[in-house]
Amino acid sequence: MKNLKNALLLKQLYQLQELGYKFIDNLNIDNSQEKKDNILPNSINKLNTIISKCQLCQLSKNSKSPILSMGNPQSDIIFIGNKPTILDSNNSSIFSGNRGDMLRNIIQNVLELDDFYLANIIKCYPPNGREVLANEVYSCKSYILKEIEIIKPKIIITLGEDTYSYLTNKDINFQDIEGTIIKYSNYYIMPIVDISTVLKNPSYKKKLYMNMLKLKEFIKNM
Ligand code: SF4
């Protein structure tokens, strides 16, 4: 019941924001107040130690363990997914299986990048892969914000509609922004389709490939 109340409260706050009301938005990627109050360590290793023991929300009860990010923390590019899959949870590894293989294949063979960083906004697998709740996003989001703050990527690639919304708090029609490179304060964000969607429906492949070529061009000129 408390979770439902939190989710409804958050929804009402967003609606008020859309009507023009201003409030301190703790979910904002660039909120300076949040950064000031953020007491998480400025080290990926130390951050991972904290995440590994995290029990901030009820997802810790279901998940075997949080699925940590992977890759080079010096990288200019972060790929961010929404939440771990059951396979990720079973393997204790982010972007496992076909989804991860396809993503890595694109990164290495289309983008021709060796250095990259893979992360999820939500670190724990939700029961039966259900949609995450607003309070769970709220609880977990400070970790990805800290990762972004530490890594300082030049571009962030968000995978899937929810990921972009969770990260930016923007409720935008995904079709309008998919494949566009959006300046967001100190960062650029490119929202793309989730790889699992492409695996389920190969008709999305062509658009994904075209977007990756656009990204490759952007990276070349960074
Ligand atoms: S989902 Fe995030 S906030 Fe919730 S328990 Fe896992 S690591 Fe902690």
DSSP string over 172-203: --HHHHTT--EEETTEEEEEE--HHHHHH-GG
Token pair for 83: 């939440």
pLDDT in tens, 202-216: 999 999 999 999 999
Q: Find out whether 123 and 68 touch, Cβ atoms under 8 Å.
A: yes
Instruction: Report how far residue 25's alpha carbon sits from residue 158's, in angstroms, rounded to the nearest whole number.
Output: 20
* CATH code assigned to 2-220: 3.40.470.10
Task: Verify whether ligand 1 is closer than 6 Å to residue 55 (CB atom).
Answer: yes
The percentage of residues in the chain with a pLDDT greater than 90, rounded to a whole number, is 77
Is the per-residue pLDDT at 33 higher than 90?
no
Among candidates 178, 32, 58, which has minimal Cα distance to 127?
A: 58
C-alpha 121 to ligand 1 mean position (Å): 10
Which pLDDT belongs to residue 32? 45
Which of the pair, 35 or 114, is modelled with greater confidence? 114
Which pLDDT belongs to residue 12? 54
Q: What are the extents of the domains in the chain?
A: 2-220
- End-to-end CA, the chain: 47
Task: Verify whether ligand 1 is closer than 6 Å to residue 124 (CB atom).
Answer: yes
C-alpha 69 to ligand 1 mean position (Å): 13
pTM of the model: 0.83
Which pLDDT belongs to residue 152? 95
Cβ contacts of 154 within 8 Å, gap of 6 or more = 76, 77, 187, 188, 219, 222
Q: How far is CA 114 from the centre of its chain?
A: 20
User: Where is 145: in which H helix or E strand?
Assistant: helix 134-151
Burial code (b: 16+ CB inside 10 Å, e: under 16) for 95-131 equals: bbbebbebbeebbeeebebeebbbbbbbbbbbeeeee
Task: Verify whether ligand 1 is closer than 6 Å to residue 60 (CB atom).
Answer: yes
Task: Verify whether ligand 1 is closer than 6 Å to residue 123 (CB atom).
Answer: yes
Task: Verify whether ligand 1 is closer than 6 Å to residue 57 (CB atom).
Answer: yes
